[in-house]
Structure 1
Amino acid sequence: MNYFVAPDSIVRKIWGKDDTILFIFAGASAEFALNKAVDWLYFTGKLPSDPLGRLFSTVSYARQIIFADYDQALFAINKITSIHQAVEQKRAAQIPDWAYRDVLFMLIDYSIRSFELLERKLTPEEKEDIFDVFYRVGSGMGISGLPTNFHSWQQMREEHIQEHLLASAFTVDLYRQYKKHLGTIRFFILKQAQILVVPQRVNKLLRLGNTPIFASVIITYKFLRFLKVENYLKNMLLPEAYKPQIAALNTA
């Protein structure tokens, strides 16, 4: 069978474990709140009314592409494009290409950061593999101005972080919604996870702090995972409504 992402790709390993995806989710939730184009996500009303569901939707589409055969992956990519086009028609405006690139760049960056936090350092070849997968997703969506290799992506990613992030009223409201939907304790855990994975500029704009209280907890978690009893901890921490969805993420 012809796959969009090779069965032995590191991308499948990264996106086949729920804990790695949850850290990708944590990083993306931080950066979404700062993106200058976040008003597009507010336009439909779906993000503020269900921020966790909206972010899980993004994760779900990414996984459909990563684990599907080639034709199914192209179908998912085309569906994402059509959804965005429908929103553009309703607003009578066009989502800027840099906003599309920002989301794509987040998926690349937090895939790397999350895996290296929980597993090991990636090789240059593995990082190129990650870049290539999401480059082909972006190319399939018709996103212009994409970098053509990992090195170029690193430079453009840094430029985007410096130019396209802003703490705004949307940022404040979105974090208010995170707290509302997660509860005080889980919201605190989310921010601790964000400290561990987000770039320094994201941390600074969100004022998350530079003391990751949970840094030592990660070591304990890795040990629990080695003993295959980490699910007990996850079940205590995860929102009840999302436990089935999160459990279904384990495919690696």
Structure 2
Amino acid sequence: MELFVEKDSIVRKIWGKSDTVLFIFAGASAEFALNKAVDWLYFTGKLPSDPLGRLFSTVKYAKLIVFSSMDEANASIDTIKHIHETVEKNRDASIPDWAYRDVLFMLIHYSIASYELLERKLNKNEKEEVYNVFYRVGKRMGLKELPENYIQWLPIRESHLAENLKASKYTYDLFKQYKKHLGLMRYEVLIAAQKLVVPKRVKKLLYLQDFSVLTIVISIYKFSRILKLDSIFKNMLLPTEHKTQIKELDVQTV
């Protein structure tokens, strides 16, 4: 059976751990809020009414792609494309191609940034591997103007950050919803996590300082994993109603 992502791929290691996935979406939640096309996420009302539910829905599809056969992964990608086409039809407008690329670019950036924060630096081949997986997702969705490799992608990513992000009323409302659904303590943890993985452009637009209290905490957290205490530590930071879903994010990668 042909797999969409090989069993020994670094991408499976990245997306097979709940702590890494949570940092991916901590960063993406910040960048999503700044994207000039974020109004599309408000059209259905699902994101502002249930941002955590939206997170787990997105994770579900990402894992279906990363941990499935080629045919199953392609079917999942086709489903995602169909969902967006339905939204476009209902709104009688098209989501800009650059907006689709932005989402893909977020997954690439935060996959690498989160793994390097919590585990180790990736080498050039591993970064290329991460890029290639999401490049194939984008090609399946019919996206245009995708760079063919990681090196070519880097300057394009920077140009997207410069051109497609701005603080808007949606930005402020989304962060208001994050605080409402997470509670004050966990919201502060979210902000602290964002500081560690978002690009400088995102930090600037959100007025995020460089210092994060999680810099110290992460060192303790890494040690706690050795002692098998990471689940206790993690549960202290996550809403009770989502604990089962958090556990389901961990995937056996071997």
Amino acid at match of 2:156: M
Deviation of residue 247 (structure 1)?
A: 0.3
State, as a whole percentage, how many aligned pairs show the same letter.
62
Q: How far apart, CA to CA, are the structure 2 residues paired with 1:213 and 1:233?
A: 15
Deviation of residue 242 (structure 1)?
A: 1.1
Alignment partner of 2:87: what SS? Answer: helix
After TM superposition, the structure 1 stretch with the greater mean CA deviation from structure 2, 1-10 or 54-63, is 54-63
* Partner of residue 244, structure 2: 244
* Partner of residue 19, structure 2: 19
* Partner of residue 185, structure 1: 185
Q: How far apart, CA to CA, are the structure 1 residues paired with 2:144 and 2:52?
A: 29
* Partner of residue 127, structure 1: 127
Deviations 1:174-214, CA, capped at 9 Å, x for gaps: 00000000000000000000001100110111112121121
Alignment partner of 1:158: what SS? Answer: helix
Deviation of residue 55 (structure 1)?
A: 2.1
Amino acid at match of 1:156: I
Q: How far apart, CA to CA, are the structure 1 residues paired with 2:83 and 2:68?
A: 19
Deviations 1:120-170, CA, capped at 9 Å, x for gaps: 000100000000000000000001111100011111111001110000000
Amino acid at match of 1:246: I
After TM superposition, the structure 1 stretch with the greater mean CA deviation from structure 2, 235-244 or 158-167, is 235-244
* Partner of residue 41, structure 2: 41
* Partner of residue 215, structure 2: 215
TM, length-normalised to structure 1: 0.99
Deviations 1:36-69, CA, capped at 9 Å, x for gaps: 0000000010011011111221221111100011
* Partner of residue 139, structure 1: 139
Question: Could you list the runs of 5+ residues in structure 2 that have no partner in the other structure?
Answer: none
* Partner of residue 6, structure 1: 6
Amino acid at match of 2:79: K
* Partner of residue 91, structure 1: 91
Q: How far apart, CA to CA, are the structure 2 residues paired with 1:166 and 1:55?
A: 22
* Partner of residue 231, structure 1: 231
Q: How far apart, CA to CA, are the structure 2 residues paired with 1:124 and 1:210?
A: 26
After TM superposition, the runs of 4+ consecutive aligned structure 1 residues lying more than 2 A away are none
Amino acid at match of 1:223: F
* Partner of residue 196, structure 1: 196
